[in-house]
Structure 1
Amino acid sequence: MSSIKKNLIEELKWRGMIHDMMPGTEEQFNKEMTTTYVGFDPTADSLHVGHLVSVMILNHLQRAGHKPLAIIGGATGMIGDPSFKSDERVLLDEESIAKNIAGVRKQLEKFMDFDCGENSAELLNNYDWMKDFSFIDFVRDAGKHITVNYMMSKDSVKRRLEAGTGLSFTEFTYQLLQGWDFYHLYTTKGCKVQMGGSDQWGNIVTGTELIRRKASGEAFAVTCPLITKSDGTKFGKTEGGAVWLDPEKTSPYQFYQFWLNVSDEDAEKYIKIFTFKTKEEIEALIAEHREAPHQRALQRALAEDITERVHSKEDLEMAIKASSILFGKNVTDDLKSLDERTLLQVFEGVPQVEISKGDLVDLEDVNDLLSAATGGIVFKSKGEARRMIAGGGVSINKAKIAGEEKPTDFELLQGKYLLAQKGKKNYYLIKVNA
């Protein structure tokens, strides 16, 4: 008991992270340091925000004094989990899977402590113990112990058969392969618990059944709810697709914006699941938010916490600067400090126009730049530009202009851009080519 730091199940329950659990699981966690695993199929070379639930569970495990195992499915990833999928997954080749595993491994290593003594995390690839497992050995050692009736009773199998889309033998055997992983980890690592999303319940209990029948052992299953948005749409998806942890796929600015823009209802749920803030801290934040919802204190706390943890403090600061530019005042310095990629993302979709540096130098004043020289994109005429500038409604690089300035008076953002603003919400990006 000395190594157990807190009641893990109690912690996960108040955070809304328990969906189903086998009897005796909580007692097992409270009795001793318990080795527990969560699996990640390498279907892409990056995890996305949906995987963060599993990552957080592994973190809570370790913080509570238990030993987490993160298993990358190099073998099972070659087959594809049919759980609650309407169609069979496309099989990946070995080269793609190897690339995906490398990307996922790099990300998982960032979230867990692999050098903290007896409950150090471990990262394993099930291909290492499945690669030399012959088909004959598999059907004899695994298939012999689990009946077809048992496998057919699983909801993931029944749904596919009832839908009429069918199920290949390859996918049908997936639960046996995942069950074998649990059995292997039970016998080699003393792993007694598997955790995963609620769609994994059937696969996980197949493992506990295999352990019971083949090793006369006792093992346990815990699942967490599949996270959804309050409007019923899929969590972790935007118009641009999935929200990835890889900054090359989803930039820190886009990642920060995803969390900043969740609904109030979702923010109250997500801050419990995706941060390590205490119950007292979260309750105080929720109370503060409800008093002044327009200030979005909850969303900001959530976005800041998770962006810094997934990326870095520097990336968070850049994301905050970028986010303040559209709505803040006196943000010229913030604008100048943005890197080009973030600048273009902040102003994605605004009208853009190009002009050569030579033409820029030849212009008489900024009125010319904002009218004829840029094809009338910002103002249709020099007179229209002059009138709005006189009324104080025009900015270049977020600084108000008087109309007498030369276009060359302005510092080019990233050495190639000028940001024109007309009124409060109309932006135009002028690219100056060499």
Structure 2
Amino acid sequence: MSDFKSEFLRELSWRGFIKDTTHKAELDAYCAQGTPVAYVGYDATADSLHVGHLMTIMMLRIFQRHGGKPITLMGGGTTKVGDPTDKEKSRPLLTDEQIEANIAGIKTAFEPFLRFGDGANDAIMVNNNDWLGQLGYLEMLRAIGVYFTINTMVKQDTVRRRLEAEQPYTFLEFNYLLMQSYDFLELYRRYGCRMQLGGSDQWGNIVGGVDLVHKAEGGEAFGVTAHLVTTSSGVKMGKTVGGAVWLNADRRSPYEYWQFWRNTEDADVGKFLRLFTDLGREEIERLEALQGAEINDAKIALANAATALLHGEAAAKESEAAAKAVFAGGASADALPTALVPQAELEAGMLVAAACTAAGLSKSNGEARRLIEQGAIRVNDELVSDPNAKVSLADLQDGAIKLSAGKKRHALVKAG
């Protein structure tokens, strides 16, 4: 059982979000009274968020449900620098126009999860370019630089790994910690925000902000990080053979989104029900207890609940109905042609084109590549656009990988 007093932290705890916190007792007291304020920062490196961002979005959703006021901070300023955290090399810089277009696209991703408005605990969206864009260099050095030491900054994992690998770590990137910490200070001053939420890879940046608030204002601030989610096969959450799992409907349809969750590995169903749905603890524990073929009921419940959050109940039901009808003539998976391929090939990664040929969906790898380029090939109902895409053991769902060529030709590949 959790020893937290605040309902927010208690729910985060039983759902499995929390990895690290600062000042645990004081944080708990802050969350348990009044209307606490917390933020998450999102850099605008693409025009949509993806499933990997859902951890922090769900944290903000739970926070608001328990009376907290969420702030979604758009990195209009920090994106001009680029977050170097866990990056082995520098990111390409985006233009101001690209950043603005990306922010416009990202805004729609938050609306299904958070209630925005003017109420006491309604969410607000803020752009850090509002203050970073006005901050002069000398002003930044005097206002922020005095509180940071190079000794501490070079000990951060990202900096240390780059230096050990003799990879460039630009002065531009080196300033990212200062800029993100200054975000926390500005949000503290402007909105009384005393808490930052983020993934565990952001721990160093979050602690930097907590320390800056204390040093510059004598204020008490807090940080909470969530585990970085990987599947039981060790694959980074949200990465599939079809690419990133985007939240915006124009990047990934509700049906494809539903299928992503339906294709969850057996060992991950319980974890994902806790992290990515609003289902209650009792119902989740009931679904977690299902065994054998019944675990498919839990996967459908996960897909319906996750899709309903983003796209609405109607879209979830329509997606489930479409999935049931996906096999030609209503045939079951047992009736589909099945090809056995050596397990070693799947372990090493097998070209989708080769898998299609083995399954009889194409006469040759060349034909399969052309079908992929034409947008006619799907793996586990996900569109494949890269002719060099591969499938592996991680793509096995219920012991098989489903391949589709067009709308009516389907086959299964199993490890033999």
Query: What are the superposed Cα offsets for residues 31-82 of structure 1, whole Å, 9 maximum, x if unpaired?
Result: 3321110111111000100111111011000001111111010101111111
1:185-200 equivalences under 5 Å are 185-200=187-202
Query: What are the superposed Cα offsets for residues 347-374 of structure 1, whole Å, 9 maximum, x if unpaired?
Result: xx7969xxxxxxxxxxxxxxxxxxxxxx
The answer to whether residue 257 in structure 2 is matched with residue 250 in structure 1 is no
Distance in 1 (CA, whole Å) between partners of 2:202 and 2:123 is 22
> Deviation at 1:161?
1.5
Q: Secondary structure at the match of 2:32?
A: helix
| Correspondence for 1:228 | 230
Q: Secondary structure at the match of 1:27?
A: helix
Q: Which structure 2 segments of 5+ residues have no match?
A: 332-355, 363-405
> Deviation at 1:420?
6.0
Query: What are the superposed Cα offsets for residues 368-421 of structure 1, whole Å, 9 maximum, x if unpaired?
Result: xxxxxxxxxxxxxxxxxxxxxxxxxxxxxxxxxxxxxxxxxxxxxxxxxx9767
> Deviation at 1:89?
1.0
| Correspondence for 2:308 | 308
Distance in 1 (CA, whole Å) between partners of 2:253 and 2:54 is 16
User: Match of 2:8, as an amino acid?
Assistant: L
> Deviation at 1:227?
0.6
Q: Secondary structure at the match of 1:68?
A: strand
| Correspondence for 2:74 | 72
| Correspondence for 2:385 | none
TM-score (ref. length: structure 2) = 0.77
Query: What are the superposed Cα offsets for residues 102-141 of structure 1, whole Å, 9 maximum, x if unpaired?
Result: 0111221332112373111111111111111111111111
Query: What are the superposed Cα offsets for residues 149-168 of structure 1, whole Å, 9 maximum, x if unpaired?
Result: 12222222222222221310
Q: Are the aligned partners of 2:304 and 2:316 in contact in 1 as well (CA < 8 Å)?
A: yes
| Correspondence for 2:263 | 261
Distance in 2 (CA, whole Å) between partners of 1:419 and 1:267 is 28
| Correspondence for 1:388 | none
- Which of 28, 34, 51 aligns to 1:49? It is 51
User: Match of 2:315, as an amino acid?
Assistant: D
Distance in 2 (CA, whole Å) between partners of 1:419 and 1:190 is 54
Q: Are the aligned partners of 2:108 and 2:248 in contact in 1 as well (CA < 8 Å)?
A: no
Q: Secondary structure at the match of 1:176?
A: helix
Distance in 1 (CA, whole Å) between partners of 2:116 and 2:251 is 26
Query: What are the superposed Cα offsets for residues 279-328 of structure 1, whole Å, 9 maximum, x if unpaired?
Result: 111011112x22x4355111111100111221133322332232112348
User: Match of 2:130, as an amino acid?
Assistant: D
- Which of 117, 120, 129 aligns to 2:122? It is 120
The structure having more radius of gyration, on CA atoms, is 1
**Range 15-24 or range 153-162, more displaced:** 153-162
Distance in 1 (CA, whole Å) between partners of 2:132 and 2:305 is 38
| Distance change in 2, residues 1:123/1:55 (3 Å) | same
| Distance change in 2, residues 1:99/1:13 (3 Å) | same
The answer to whether residue 100 in structure 2 is matched with residue 98 in structure 1 is yes
1:222-371 equivalences under 5 Å are 222-287=224-289, 289-290=290-291, 292-327=292-327
User: Match of 1:169, as an amino acid?
Assistant: F
| Distance change in 2, residues 1:257/1:420 (3 Å) | closer
The answer to whether residue 23 in structure 2 is matched with residue 58 in structure 1 is no
| Correspondence for 1:22 | 22
| Distance change in 2, residues 1:56/1:135 (3 Å) | same
Q: Secondary structure at the match of 1:20?
A: strand
Distance in 1 (CA, whole Å) between partners of 2:127 and 2:119 is 21
Distance in 2 (CA, whole Å) between partners of 1:419 and 1:194 is 46
Distance in 1 (CA, whole Å) between partners of 2:135 and 2:186 is 12
**Range 171-180 or range 81-90, more displaced:** 81-90
Identity %: 41
User: Match of 1:144, as an amino acid?
Assistant: V
**Range 169-178 or range 22-31, more displaced:** 22-31
Distance in 2 (CA, whole Å) between partners of 1:209 and 1:297 is 47
Q: Are the aligned partners of 1:6 and 1:65 in contact in 2 as well (CA < 8 Å)?
A: no
Q: Secondary structure at the match of 1:196?
A: strand
Q: Secondary structure at the match of 1:133?
A: coil
> Deviation at 1:148?
1.3
Q: Are the aligned partners of 1:75 and 1:131 in contact in 2 as well (CA < 8 Å)?
A: yes
Distance in 2 (CA, whole Å) between partners of 1:420 and 1:218 is 61
Count, aligned residues = 339
TM-score (ref. length: structure 1) = 0.74
1:82-231 equivalences under 5 Å are 82-115=84-117, 117-231=119-233
Q: Which structure 1 segments of 5+ residues have no match?
A: 332-348, 353-417, 427-434
RMSD between superposed Cα atoms in Å: 2.5
